[in-house]
Amino acid sequence: MLWVLVLSTMLGMASSQWLMSWVMLEVNTLAMCGKVSQVTKKMKQKETQTFIYYLVQVFTSLIILTSSCMQTSTMTQMALISALMVKMGAWPTHIWYMKLIMLMKMGKPTLTILMTWQKILPLTLMSYPMMNSNMNKTLVMVITAMSIALPPLMMTPNMEMKTILGLSSVNNNGWLIMLLLCSKWVLLTFLALYTLSLSVVFKEFKNMKNKNLQNKKEQWTTTLAISNLSGLPPFTMFWAKVMALKTMMNSNIPTEYMMMMMLMACVLLYHYIYSTTNEMMTNQTKNQNPKKMEKFYTPTTTLMLSSTSMLACLYY
Q: Are the C-beta atoms of 80 and 151 separated by less than 8 Å?
A: no
What's the whole-number mean pLDDT along residues 305-309? Answer: 48
- If phi over 0 gives left and psi between -120 and 50 gives alpha, with beta otherwise, what is residue 145? alpha
Q: Contact at 8 Å (CB) between 90 and 147?
A: yes
Give 137 or 185, the one with higher predicted confidence. Answer: 185
The residue with greater pLDDT, 47 or 11, is: 11
Residues 19-59 pLDDT 10s = 888 888 888 888 888 888 877 777 666 777 888 888 888 88
**pLDDT score at 190:** 92
pLDDT, tens only, 160-202: 888 888 888 889 988 998 888 888 888 889 999 999 988 888 8
Residue 135 pLDDT exceeds 60 = yes
Query: pLDDT value at position 215?
Result: 60
Amino acid type, 100: L
Catalogue the long-range contacts made by 63-72 (C-beta closer than 8 Å, 24 or more residues apart). 64/18, 64/22, 64/25, 65/19, 65/22, 68/18, 68/19, 68/22, 72/132
Report how far residue 221's alpha carbon sits from residue 235's, in angstroms, rounded to the nearest whole number. Answer: 13
| Composition of the chain by helix, strand, coil, percent to 5 | 80, 0, 20
SS3 assignment, position 108: coil
The predicted model gives 48-77 an average pLDDT of 83
Q: How far apart are CA 42 and CA 39, in angstroms?
A: 5
More confident residue, 284 or 25: 25
pLDDT at residue number 140: 81
pTM: 0.84
pLDDT band at 314 (very low <50, low <70, confident <90, very high): very low
Residue-level pLDDT at 295: 40
d(CA 51, CA 301): 40
- For the chain, the first-to-last Cα distance in angstroms comes to 45
Quote the pLDDT of residue 296: 38
What's the pLDDT at 301?
A: 47
User: 132 — phi, psi (to 5°)?
Assistant: -90, -15
Give residue 300's pLDDT: 47
CB-neighbour burial class of residue 29 (10 A; exposed 0-12, middle 13-18, buried 19+): buried
pLDDT, tens digit (0-9, with 9 covering 90-100), for 237-282? 888 888 888 888 888 888 888 888 888 888 888 888 887 777 666 5
